[in-house]
Chains A and B, each alone.
Chain A
Amino acid sequence: MLIKKPAKIPTSELTSETAFINRRSFLKKQAILGSGLWGAGLLGSAQAGLQPDDSLTPENVVTSYNNFYEFGTGKGDPVQYAHEMNTDPWTVKVSGEANKTGRYAFEDVVKGLDVEERIYRFRCVEAWSMVVPWNGVALRDILRQFEPKTSAKFVEFKTLVRPSEMRGQRAVFQSIDWPYTEGLRLDEAYHPLAIMALGVYGKDLPNQNGAPWRLMVPWKYGFKSVKSIVGIHFTSKQPRNSWNVLAPHEYGFYANVNPAVSHPRWSQASERRLPSSVFNPNRRPTLPFNGYAEEVAGLYEGMDLAKFY
């Protein structure tokens, strides 16, 4: 493990009882976890970036307050309509600058890979945030299976397009050009903090959270972490990402959480930690790289982050 950082918080405060109880169904289904992995050893390494006052966002909030425009633009739309999406079978198309390309069954891609719990701060560009216990696989372990060529500098991900099961894709007056597309520089994708999440709170990922797997890059705004992925494309050129296509002055390619770069819609200096309440908006200052500066700032050395936002 490269993420070496002492635990700031006792494990008991981080993993809720439900997560411990619920882990069984997940473990059985994936059947790839060693028995000790869930324990304190790995949790310690998964705590990079967490702040002393971070506590887990309750599961019902994580799975009912989502941006997944394929199912509608309301935060409650995904939980209401995502069940219409069929995720079995799930095929992933791998293309571009790699030795192993073609169509793969999702199960084959993740088979044999270690699933770890990663408790990550999650910061949406809309100035709200959560702390989420994901169960995921290191992104680089996934990508390296396809043997990217040296010419590959970026990786692009695409979400499923299936209007018959995704009502947001049938909506009028919506302007995203499906499929929803996101990308990373390959060295970002290989960073040990970048994962592909297969589960949350010890269970398989619910559809509204991007089943069967989604990207999770904790130092970037949430829109980077593309859901329900069916396409992985290795390329030498920087891919265009959906929100950047739609509003280039608002959303960049990098999308690193940065309180110093304000946004035309939301001040990024602070965030509302969810759940908030009618008495308390639960505002707190936003941290550079969402609290992961120590781990990831090196990726952007010498870059003007105000320009490459």
Chain B
Amino acid sequence: MQTHLTVVLSKTAFFAALSTPLAWLVWQIAIEIEAPTTALGADPGEAIVHFLGVWALRFLLLAFAISPIQKLMQQPVVGRLRRMAGLYAFAYALLHLAAYLFFFLEFEWEALLEDFVKRTFITVGLVALICLTPLAVTSTLGWQRRLRRNWKRVHLLVYPAIAFALIHLYWLTRDGFAEVVLYSVFFLFLVGFRWVKR
């Protein structure tokens, strides 16, 4: 019972933490509606697209960090949070795509096709999202049981998903590479940790 309570409490706290950026964004949008340009600036669409993308990547890295953290802390409860982090990362990524489609393309599908073909940073961004999709779909216990050992293999897609997301960020950065370098070093550190502790 004690363990169950711990799980419920940690999940609730984690749920709240993962929802915070989105709640903050909704709040900023509400301010924008009342008083344009005061919360998200002169180009709120760009700000929203960027914000959602950055948090998708951060939560993806968080989900990726959970197994090592679990190993270090010896707390099985930590492992139960991984799915939530991953699903949140996927949700932010989907919203990121939706915001880009609305604010940058106004749902002109030809423009999307052009971006997909001509702008490689868009291509790799979409590829990252495509890699994440089966992970989100097969995240349930039912799918874990059905896929058995293959579930782990399917979920190796998290590696290319993060790698493509980092390349996406790197290619869209004009200058000021500190942020993408920081995330990449963190990712490589986690990969190294797995490799050593395998």
Which A residues fall within an 8 A CB radius of B?
57-58, 60-61, 64-65, 69, 72-73, 75-76, 127-128, 168, 171-176, 246, 262, 264-267, 269, 272, 274-279, 281, 283
Contacts and interface: CB of A to CB of B under 8 A. Distances in A.
B131 interface: no
Nearest to B174: A73
Contact of B175 (A246, A269, A281): A246
B40 A69 contact: no
A176 B37 contact: no
A291 to B, nearest CB: 20
A274 B43 CA distance: 6
A267 B48 contact: no
Contacts of A269: 111
Interface in B141-198: 171-172, 174-178, 181
A262 B118 contact: yes
A264 B112 CA distance: 14
Contact of B177 (A60, A175, A262): A175
Given A127-B104, A262-B114, 8 more contacts: A65-B41, A65-B43, A75-B42, A265-B121, A267-B118, A267-B119, A276-B44, A278-B40
A267 B115 contact: yes
B33 interface: yes
8 contacts: A75-B41, A174-B176, A264-B120, A267-B115, A269-B111, A274-B42, A277-B32, A278-B29
B68 interface: no
Contacts, number: 89
Contact of B43 (A168, A275, A279): A275
A66 to B, nearest CB: 10
A174 B181 CA distance: 11
Interface in B7-53: 29, 32-33, 36-37, 40-46, 48
Given A275-B36, A278-B33, A281-B106, A72 B176 contact: yes
A264 B177 contact: no
B48 A278 contact: yes
B123 to A, nearest CB: 11
Contact of A281 (B33, B42, B103, B114): B103
Interface residues on B, range: 20 to 34
Grouping DSSP codes into helix (H, G, I), strand (E, B) and loop, the B interface class, with mixed when no group exceeds half, is helix
B41 A76 contact: yes
Given A60-B37, A72-B176, A174-B176, A283 B106 contact: yes
A275 B178 contact: no
Given A128-B46, A246-B175, A278 B32 contact: yes
Contacts of B111: 267, 269
B115 A61 contact: no
A209 B168 CA distance: 30
A172 B118 contact: no
A171 B45 contact: no
Contacts of B176: 69, 72-73, 168, 171, 173-174
B43 A276 contact: yes
B175 A69 contact: yes
A173 B171 CA distance: 14
Pairs of residues from A and B, 6 with the lowest C-beta to C-beta distance, nearest first? A73-B176, A65-B42, A173-B177, A61-B42, A173-B178, A274-B42
Contacts of B174: 73, 265
A64 B177 CA distance: 23
Nearest to A246: B175
A171 B176 CA distance: 8
Contacts of B172: 265
Contacts of B175: 69, 73, 174-176, 246
Contact of A272 (B29, B32, B45): B45
Contacts of A57: 42
Nearest to A60: B37
Given A275-B36, A281-B102, A64 B41 contact: yes
Most buried by B among A61, A75, A76, A276: A276
Most buried by B among A57, A262, A265: A265
